[in-house]
Amino acid sequence: MFAKMKSKKAIIYLVLILFALFFLLPMYVLIITSFKSFAEVSVKTMWDLPQQMSLNGFITALNKLAPNLLNSFYLVIPATLISAMLGSINGYVLSHWKFKGADTLFAVLLFGMFIPYQSVLFPLVRFLQTIGLYGSIPGLILVHIVYGIPITTLMFRNYYTEVPKALTEAAKVDGANIIGIYRHIFFPISIPSFVVVFIWQFTNIWNEFLFAVTVTSKPENQPITVALTNLAGSQVVEWNIQMSGAIITALPTLIVYIIFGRYFIEGLLSGSVKG
Amino acid sequence: MKQKTKNLLISLGLLSPSIVLVGVFVYGFIARTVQISILDWNTFAKLLRAEKDYVGLKNYLNLFMDPRFQTDLWNTLFFTGFFIIGSLTIGILLSILLNDKPKGGYIFQNIYLFPMAISFVVTGTVWRWIFSPGTLPNNPYGINLLFEKLGLTSLQWSWFTSTESVFFFNIALIPVIIAAIWQFSGYTMAMWLAGLRGMDEQLIEAAKIDGATPWQIFRYILFPIQKPITLSAVIILAHVSLKAFALIYSMTGSGPNNVTDIPAVYMFEATFRSNRYSIGSSIAIILLILVGLLIIPYLVNSFREES
């Protein structure tokens, strides 16, 4: 019995380790290639560890991508803050100040989260051209705010639904109004929820590609995901630079994941409708 | 009564920015895309003239007779199918192994889930380098080179550059499917694990005492209880795969003979690279209908359960 349990444990670990190797394989290639010198990047040695550590790949990639890295921060920070704020207000009204048709309105808003964005893409580009925001980071910020509303509303509404109605009723009796109750009760208690939404929106907007590649045209205005595909798409760029570029692109969201993993998973799970 | 009206007005006022923005950017733009898809705006000159020269469903009919679009539909079908099966199987397996709380389980869980935090663009860039086949048999690259080192040369093949197909399934999609599974099986795992952790353990203990095998426990207890979670996962994964533009675009592009092409890539190229705006819009609307067929029953069902 004991021996059987031991061998069962060994099998479990074997499976877990094999899958861990599969999941880490691309990271291995990324890291070893990005630390290789130009002389050493050859496809023949792509699985070998670097003979000596070189930061040349990183330095070259960073030189090329620095403006785009900054663009991504300029994009992500305001888009995350504003979409979270709108979602919080919507979620509050749609859960604690329900009027006739409030649930239908919620469903109508929520639908925006499921559409393939191809179905709005061309009119969106034309519209941004008309209002003079096409090709710019502010244009992309607007896009991410709007298409972020459904998911942020969903996340906050789920959160506020857990708050007892009695709290709102009591505050009403005390003469507080909608805005006052939000400011003094709901906003302060929803800090954990804001953290989850911030992390979710930060990760998604940072990683987004379709809007980024269609809304920005000039290289100097592109966020880092687009700049990375341009870097990787050109045949002349060495692999160590491409892999360094990929690490630079992935690092901000990976750091967020490592520090705030628990909140990240919470956001991930609330992405499904019932949460 | 007056107070109630006032509250309603404030509520609507607070919601109004979102209502207006979503109204225009989602519903307005979809309507516009539908309109363009039944016009004949397939050159830049026609876009500039902006005539309302309606052609009915001509663009849609042309698409369904277009070999590239037919390939795209087959690719989507197989990509979605294998991607869902792979992510579910691996995700469920890992969640069950981790639910026993083995030592170091937390570390494993984080390793399986980290790809979710990374952009498809990064994933595509790395997996393209790994699956680049090189020239066989003398000059293998990437994973083929690894196979050579391990003495497994029989496993070498041309990966995403292959133009072979098995019953409409372009085998060049296999590396792309592997990359997508790599990215999303952690997600299924997290969903299942959350469900398992919330489950009544006595149920499983009782079954064990009655002599149930692990497979029976899975088949008759875990799987039925987790069915709603599994369904959510399937819907979300299917939805991801219909939108998997960034992965394909950065990893393989359309490929030789469009072996790794999907409607989203065709839509992008038709609209933004070859000025066939009406064709691009038609593809977009077909994608929307496909997603709608999937999502609307799911949403209706979720809301019904909630109320």
Encoded tokens for B297:
């029953």
d(CA A266, CA A270): 6
pTM: 0.93
DSSP β-ladder status, B134-135 and B139-140: antiparallel
Return the ∠ at Cα B56 (arms to B55 and B61), rounded to 5°.
Answer: 100
**Domain positions in chain A:** 57-270
Question: How many alpha carbons fall within 13 Å on the CB side of residue B285?
Answer: 22
Q: Do A29 and B130 touch (CB under 8 A)?
A: yes
Residues of B in contact with A118 (CB under 8 A): 245, 264, 267-268, 283-284, 287-288
Residues of A in contact with B124 (CB under 8 A): 229
CATH no. for A57-270: 1.10.3720.10
Query: What is chain A's Cα-based Rg?
Result: 24
Residue window 154-183, chain A: list those with CB within 8 Å of chain B: 177-179
What is the DSSP annotation of chain B?
-HHHHHHHHHHHHHHHHHHHHHIIIIIIHHHHHHHHHTB---SHHHHHHT---B-TTHHHHHHHH-HHHHHHHHHHHHHHHHHHHHHHHHHHHHHHHHHT--TTHHHHHHHHHGGGGS-HHHHHHHHHHHH--EETTTEE-HHHHHHHHTT-GGG---GGG---EETTEETTHHHHHHHHHHHHHHHHHHHHHHHHHTS-HHHHHHHHHTT--HHHHIIIIIHHHTHHHHHHHHHHHHHHHHTTHHHHHHHTTT-GGGTT--HHHHHHHHHHTS--HHHHHHHHHHHHHHHHHHHHHHHHHHHHHH-
Comparison of pLDDT for B50 and A117, the residue scoring more: A117
Residues B83/B184, Cβ–Cβ less than 8 Å: yes
Residues of A in contact with B128 (CB under 8 A): 232
Whole-angstrom CA distances from B154 to A25, B157, B203 are 21, 8, 47
Residues A117/A210, Cβ–Cβ less than 8 Å: yes
Along the 307 residues of chain B, how does pLDDT read in single tens digits?
578 888 899 999 999 999 999 999 999 999 999 999 999 999 999 988 888 889 999 999 999 999 999 999 999 999 999 999 999 999 999 999 999 888 888 999 999 999 999 999 999 999 998 998 888 778 888 888 888 888 888 888 888 888 888 888 999 999 999 999 999 999 999 999 999 988 888 888 888 888 888 899 999 989 999 988 898 899 889 988 887 899 999 999 888 899 999 999 999 999 999 999 999 999 999 999 999 998 888 878 777 776 6
For chain A, say whether B152 makes contact (Cβ under 8 Å). Answer: no
For chain B, say whether A89 makes contact (Cβ under 8 Å). Answer: yes
Nearest residue of A to residue B7, measured between CA atoms:
A178
Nearest residue of B to residue A43, measured between CA atoms:
B141
d(CA B283, CA B271): 10
For chain A, say whether B274 makes contact (Cβ under 8 Å). Answer: no
**Domain positions in chain B:** 67-306
3-state secondary structure of A38: coil
d(CA B271, CA B282): 10
Residues of A in contact with B287 (CB under 8 A): 116, 118-119
Residues of A in contact with B246 (CB under 8 A): 209-210, 225
ipTM, two decimals, is 0.92
Question: May I ask the CATH architecture of the domain B67-306?
Answer: Orthogonal Bundle (1.10)
